Amino acid sequence: MARPVTIFTGQWADLTLDVMAGKAASFGYDGLELACWGDHFEVDKALEDDAYVKGRWDILNKHGLRCFSISTHLVGQCVADAYIDARHRAILPDRLWGDGSPEGVRERCAEELKNTARAAKAFGVDVVNGFTGSPVWHMLYFFPPTTDDMIDEGYKEFAARWKPILDVFQAEGVRFGLECHPAEIAYDIITAKRALEALDHHPAFGFNYDPSHFVHQLFDPVEFINAFPDRIFHVHVKDSKVHLSGRNSILGSHLQFGHHERGWNFVSPGHGDVDLENIVRALNRIGYDGPLSVEWEDSGMDREHGAKEACEIVKKTDFTPSDVAFDAAFADD
């Protein structure tokens, strides 16, 4: 199936697109998944000037790279979060933060998501990946006592904020892939089903499948593919390693990523608990032929070494499914 292997540029936003593209090509990647921050893909510029879109492609073409998707995780997070605070200020440009009033931030970010769909169409890609934020994440533990009605209202709020955005996506012929993730409206199979139901199974809404967020929640990432075979719009290759020592937990212990006492950490693909071969087999079963996009995060490894090795690992592990039963040759003529 020779799926293209791309790399997500979100963790490389300190580099210009030209520099990043040159590095990715030298590492062996087939393309880039462009982050909508740094200078890699700027939504407002893409809508204002056709020359900007052409210039992005000129850079990619110069390095022999393709692009299948853009990603807007940071802005998407601010659409439906229950609380807007200094954390969100740190990830938004001034034009979206404005005066910082929470509802104003949510509304501006919602409009930016609609414009991102329009910009994606102008750029020639049909998938935008990202986060949604969540009105209910802060009620995860159900204490103080949390009623079912409170959670129901949160999902209704999520749907009310996101349906108008998804309608624009559908009108533009672009799909939105939520990266199911702690702090989002969906973070496991049960909450992903609930999010789909809240949206009345909107055709523009699916998933950017990322198994690294599932292994440290202790459920099988392959089961997510089995549950949503028609909603896997894009795939991240990312790894996570669980380090439960008897003194910590999967909750992170309020320690920064990379700290050796955390119960888990993101690691470079091939160095954690994600079983990439089983995931490839599951993707083959559902007929997924889109990119395998490395999202490289490992606090303990040089990123250029890791990104190059990750490309090699993914290309070595990916394989085309068989179109014949292995024992067909045993059959009688």
Residue stretches of the chain with pLDDT short of 50: none
The per-residue pLDDT for 324 is 72
Q: What residue spans define the domains of the chain?
A: 5-330
User: What is the per-residue pLDDT across 229-250, written as a single tens digit (0 to 9) for each?
Assistant: 999 999 999 999 999 999 999 9
CA–centroid distance for 118 within its chain: 19
Radius of gyration of the chain (CA): 20
Query: Residue for token digits 């963790």?
Result: 11
Q: Are strands 239-242 and 232-237 parallel, antiparallel or unpaired?
A: unpaired
User: What is the per-residue pLDDT across 138-155, written as a single tens digit (0 to 9) for each?
Assistant: 999 999 999 999 999 999
pTM for the full model? 0.96
Structure tokens at 3: 């799926």
The per-residue pLDDT for 1 is 53
- Looking at domain 5-330, which CATH architecture does it have? Alpha-Beta Barrel (3.20)
> Count of CB atoms within 10 A of residue 250's CB?
16
Q: Are the C-beta atoms of 5 and 318 separated by less than 8 Å?
A: yes
In DSSP notation, 272-323 reads SS--HHHHHHHHHHHT--S-EEE----TTS-HHHHHHHHHHHHHHH--PPPS
The per-residue pLDDT for 323 is 77
Q: Are the C-beta atoms of 172 and 125 separated by less than 8 Å?
A: no
The per-residue pLDDT for 321 is 85
